[in-house]
A and B are shown apart, each in its own frame.
Chain A
Amino acid sequence: MKYAFFPGCVLKGAAAEAHASMMKVSEALGIELVEIPEWTCCGASHAQGVSELSMLAINARNISIAEHMGLPIMTVCNTCTLQLKQAKAKLDEDENLRAQVNEILEKSGHPYPYQGTAEVTHFLWVLDAHPEVFAGKIKNKLTNVKVAGFYGCHLIRPQKVLNYEDGRNPESLEKLIKLLGATPIDFDYKLKCCGFHAFFTAEHDVLTVTGKIADNAAQAGAQMIVTPCPLCQMQLDMYSPEGREATKSSVEVPILHLQQLIGFALGFSKEEMGIGRHVTAADKVTI
């Protein structure tokens, strides 16, 4: 199994532990990742608000490089997934727009046109579709570990663009938690928004929901939260102290990247999974 890997900016920065753990886990599962050479930021859903056409062209460039590699694209960030898939959907359904964007790419000197031949998928979806990659690999079944799965908006909405599972009742994360031997914990906030993208403009509301998500998961019995989105992970982990203050909560739960939870089941250590880089409740990761 081989993919053109689109890591996204935060995996190269604040969430470097998500990158390191992703590399270790994918190798252990036999998934070959070839980083897309000279990829750029997907626009992070913000630059689209400055110039949609520019970001369509930027993402057409990203996708076209993977097309030239002859590989499907795998991301491990929800927002990257949505931005790439949104660009792909717009370019695939509008011939004139595709021609306009390809002309922009050509004029810039970019060597490949966007063709629409590369699939864009997310690590969680790959594992959901291919549970066989775990065969014989789980060395440390996560028995008795109660895990709340927090999906993150940009992997479940809008359904029309993402087109993987029913965004109103997704199950891939819970299925994966079970496959690792852990117990998935259902909680009211599992499909809510962490507010990451409005941190600077609606700070109090964002910190309130940050606190509520952790509190709600803990009240439902979760020992930890796992998320397939590094932006949700950053919001819930890095701003947990302010979230607790906003909600008058004392709940501190570890917030794991999806690949870290998988890594523990594969037998990797806390150090190898970069838990030391977490801000909140790193000492409570007792797997």
Chain B
Amino acid sequence: MIVTLQIHRYVDEKKWIQEYKIEITKGLTILSALHEIKAKQDPSLSFTSSCRSSICGACAVRVNGHSELACEVLLDTLVKRYKTDVLIVEPLGNFRVIRDLIVDWDPKYEKMKKIEPSLHPKAEFTVKTGCKQSIEDFDKYKKYAGCILCGSCVSECNKSALNEKDFLDPFIFVKAAKLVEDSRDKDHKQHLKDVIEAGLWKCFNCQECTASCPKDLDPAGAIEKLKEATFKLEMASSVGSNHAKAIYDDIYNTGLLDESKLSVQSEGFISAAFRVPIAYRLMKTGKLDLFEKAPVNKDISKIRSIIDIAAKEDK
């Protein structure tokens, strides 16, 4: 079968889409196809790659609007998924493009510095005794150590697409979660403070990062772990954490979420006052009743007991 790759080209500030035809042979990955095009059809096509074994993370691109690690995804899989013989290949999203499919990682590395991305070892560790930890403690963060910095997560991040200046890339949250979970680090609060200041609570929870990660690291889950750590380390004092706690408390108090109070509980009375026009609009259509009292679940004492016991065990 012959497929057409419509590749987004960018050279010296000139943009165009160039079509290449290539025959799908058994085991042909996106990366193999790019190499074949470069070798046999167009030596000017530029892309990055190295290990061809899903280890280095250098070859991620977007195909039909979704990031893929080019060395591990078969063209045949994509043809079947999209039911088409025309595939659109672009550089990763939410990156500055240098040339063709090559993106600029320097701003990303610069951004990563915001979380102080290295282990700050506890004072008890010495050259002589080493920097040991138990297997149980290692298991808490070992998943996050598998990040290959391919950029697939941030490519699809809905928040970053709208405004990346007040938000971290998902792989940076993964790095931060690793440090906050690492028992050898002495500055969990400092890493967490950095992450909160860099936009932890602005995540849309769109799950694109988790869906896109070729290593199955669950960056969205890492963000949740960091949020949870803000409560455990008593650093939860923002609109985002107020909002999460308000919903948690609603479940504890009645079993149900009470939308009518969320704005006040999350933002406080003064900010909530600016929402009066919206509240009026919602009251007019019957969507909001400020005087309605949420019914209390008949099993509320058991529900509270579940939360109390779990919260105690979760500490």
Contacts and interface: CB of A to CB of B under 8 A. Distances in A.
Interface of A: 9-10, 12-16, 38-41, 43-54, 56-58, 61, 82, 100-101, 104-105, 107-110, 153-154, 156-160, 166-169, 191-193, 195, 197-198, 200-202, 204-206, 208-209, 234, 238-239, 241-242, 276-279
A205 B306 contact: no
A248 B241 CA distance: 31
B202 A109 contact: no
B237 to A, nearest CB: 13
A192 B248 CA distance: 27
B251 interface: yes
A110 B302 contact: yes
A72 to B, nearest CB: 22
A201 B255 contact: no
Given A47-B251, A168-B66, A193 B208 contact: yes
B147 to A, nearest CB: 17
A46 B244 contact: yes
Contacts of B228: 48-52
Contacts of B133: none
Contacts of B6: none
Contact of A209 (B162, B260, B278): B162
Contacts of A110: 299, 302, 306
Interface in B153-172: 158-159, 162-163, 166-167
Nearest to B84: A169
Interface in B240-299: 240-241, 243-245, 247-248, 250-251, 255-260, 262-263, 266-267, 278, 281-282, 285-288, 297-299
B239 A201 contact: yes
Q: Which 5 A-B pairs have the closest CB atoms?
A: A49-B227, A193-B206, A157-B207, A108-B305, A193-B158
B256 A12 contact: yes
25 contacts: A10-B257, A12-B256, A14-B259, A41-B255, A46-B244, A50-B227, A51-B310, A53-B314, A56-B310, A57-B307, A57-B310, A58-B306, A104-B310, A110-B306, A156-B211, A158-B220, A193-B158, A197-B204, A198-B201, A202-B159, A205-B159, A208-B162, A209-B162, A278-B285, A279-B287
A99 to B, nearest CB: 12
A201 B263 CA distance: 11
Contact of B244 (A49, A109, A153, A192): A49
Given A40-B255, A53-B310, A160-B216, A153 B205 contact: yes
A227 to B, nearest CB: 15
A145 to B, nearest CB: 23
Nearest to B286: A277
Contacts of B299: 38, 110
Given A52-B228, A201-B240, A45 B205 contact: yes
